[in-house]
Amino acid sequence: MARYGMLIDTTKCIGCFTCRTACQRQNGLLDDEAFIRFETRESGKYPNVHVETVPLQCMHCDDAPCAQVCPTGAAHMGEDGIVQVDQDRCIGCLYCMAACPYQVRVRNSKTGSVDKCRFCTVSAYTSGTKMCTCVEACLTGARTFGDLDDPDSEISKKIAETGAAPIAPGLSKPKIYYVR
Amino acid sequence: MSFTPIWGVPIALYLFLAGLGGGAFVTAYCLRRTAPGQAESTRRFAHYAAFIVVCIGLAMLMLDAKAGFFHPQRFFLLLTNFGSWMTWGVVFLVLFTLADFIVCILDLTKHKTPEWLEVFGVIFGLLVAVYTGALLATPHAFPLWNSAALPILFLVSAMSTGAALVIGFAAIKRPEEFKAMEWVSDAHYWLPIAELVLVFFLMWVTYHNGEAGANSVLVLMVGQYALAFWLGFIIIGLVLPLIIESVGRFGKKESRGMTACADVCVIIGGYLLRWLIIVAALPVTLVVPAMF
């Protein structure tokens, strides 16, 4: 079975937020509901300044802290290691939002349930259809999606090449790797 | 990066009221053991009050859990994941509320409550109080919460506010019973001191727990919540009751009015503690430190 993950190359990210908009359109999200959020860090001194934009979204952790605390079983580990939220089980207690070390879960202001990145790219893989996901929409090709367990996959090769690593050490076992 | 707290006033109120109810019930049992037959109407008040405040707290909880409020049948799913403190909290709350409800019925029908039932209620009252802290202590991304001191602090605060409610009632409404409550009053006197020690170590350890920990403590001590923390929680909620009670104890004769004032202060402090802990917690730093 595949174990899907993503690589985000922040050295290619220009902070245009296209991925977030594409995701909102693709998944029919509310205006105030975004599965991708951004942190921006400035470093260096004028004139040698560096601006780093880091897109953050559900890391689909192997040890998902959200699923561990979810009292109703709404947040759970689905097939192919994709963390899912069963919208019909969620009561909106927000405990998962407190447990998520990356603050990437959002409450749907209409339904009150919690939602987050669904790794929808996987459906492009399984059905072979091209679709407007964060990966496809990225103007600079900063995102790579694929099977982490397949050593010959593009993502596995890129991780080995670039030494990409989780955004912060010790928080969980995430499946999104960052080049920074 | 700015951070919006996940929970707000309704959940702070819930955590406070659940502790208050548990504490009041435990106080009533202490009265049964230490002043047998001498504070019966105060004990009845404690049982009723515990039931009412816990029910108000539960209503807050359900209103805040919006998706569950819209689909109440989903609340039954709460008993799914026994690896979650939230699930255990539901178990503790249901058993505590049930025990308290039966005790209230027995009180109303002028029957004597069997001691085992009250002990059962005490156990689950204590568990309700301690779970409210354990719930927050689990998420490891918030250094202010992720501490072994927090469940203990919430437990002590719950006992303190619960006892304050019961003692305050007796001081105002049942002066003759108030005189018999010496043991409970003595025990209650020391709780704010224990809380001060626990708060000191919670702040100390959290300050040394990374950027997020330090920022959470700074937000409380010198930042946006400094006034509520120092004036509301530390001075009004802990130090003032201690001074009032000390003057009563070691100075001239204790006045019931002053005791009631001290008890109101303790209750205000108990709520502020829950609210401050909820809103001041900042998550661990990923790229840039979270600030308000």
CA distances (Å), B171 to each of B165, B177, B192, in order?
Answer: 10, 8, 19
* Contact (Cβ atoms closer than 8 angstroms) between residue B259 and residue B168: yes
Q: Do B287 and A95 touch (CB under 8 A)?
A: no
Q: What is the mean pLDDT of residues B102-111?
A: 96
CB-nearest to B86 from A52, A71, A171 is A71
Please state, in angstroms and rounded to a whole number, the distance separating the CA atoms of residues B104 and A67. 38
Q: What is the mean pLDDT of residues B272-284?
A: 97
**How many domains is chain B built from?**
1
CB-nearest to B6 from A54, A89, A94 is A94
Q: In chain A, whose CA is at the least distance from the CA of B1?
A: A39
Q: Provide the pLDDT confidence category of residue B249 given band limits of 50, 70 and 90.
A: confident
Q: Provide the pLDDT confidence category of residue A2 given band limits of 50, 70 and 90.
A: confident
Is residue B73 scored above 80 in pLDDT?
yes
Q: Do B140 and A90 touch (CB under 8 A)?
A: no
Is residue B255 scored above 70 in pLDDT?
yes
Please state, in angstroms and rounded to a whole number, the distance separating the CA atoms of residues B5 and B3. 6
pLDDT for B199? 98
**Amino acid identity, position B270:** G
DSSP type of residue B291: B
Query: Residue B185: CA atoms inside 13 Å, Cβ hemisphere, count?
Result: 24
- Provide long-range contacts, Cβ within 8 A and 24+ apart, for B152-155: B152/B198, B153/B195, B153/B198, B153/B199, B153/B202, B153/B273, B154/B15, B154/B19, B154/B129, B154/B130, B154/B273, B154/B274, B155/B19, B155/B126, B155/B129, B155/B130
pLDDT for B250? 82
Q: Do B75 and A91 touch (CB under 8 A)?
A: yes
CB-nearest to B80 from A65, A73, A111 is A73
Instruction: Specify the pairing of strand A37-45 against strand A48-56.
Output: antiparallel
B237 exposure class (CB count in 10 Å sphere: 0-12, 13-18, 19+): buried
pLDDT for B248? 82
- Cβ neighbours of A8 (radius 10 Å): 25
Is the CB of A30 inside 8 Å of chain B's CB atoms? no
CB-nearest to A171 from B67, B74, B141 is B141
Please state, in angstroms and rounded to a whole number, the distance separating the CA atoms of residues B163 and A101. 37
**Position B23 in a domain:** yes
Is residue A126 scored above 80 in pLDDT?
no
Is residue A131 scored above 70 in pLDDT?
no
Domains of chain A with bracketed CATH: 4-179 (3.30.70.20)
Q: In chain A, whose CA is at the least distance from the CA of B146?
A: A99
**Position B30 in a domain:** yes
**Position B1 in a domain:** no
Is residue B254 scored above 80 in pLDDT?
no
The mean pLDDT value of chain B amounts to: 95
**What CATH number did the domain enclosing B87 receive?**
1.20.1630.10
Please state, in angstroms and rounded to a whole number, the distance separating the CA atoms of residues B158 and B150. 12
The ipTM of this complex is 0.92
pLDDT for B2? 83
Is residue B252 scored above 90 in pLDDT?
no
In chain B, residues with a C-beta closer than 8 Å to the C-beta of A64 are: none
Query: Residue A33: CA atoms inside 13 Å, Cβ hemisphere, count?
Result: 19
Q: Which of B89, B138, B145, B114 lies closest to B274 in space, CA to CA?
A: B145
Residue B224 belongs to what domain range? 9-280
pLDDT for A12? 96
pLDDT for B175? 92
Q: How far is A34 from chain B (nearest CA, A)?
A: 15
Q: Do A69 and B85 touch (CB under 8 A)?
A: yes
In chain B, residues with a C-beta closer than 8 Å to the C-beta of A39 are: 1, 286-288
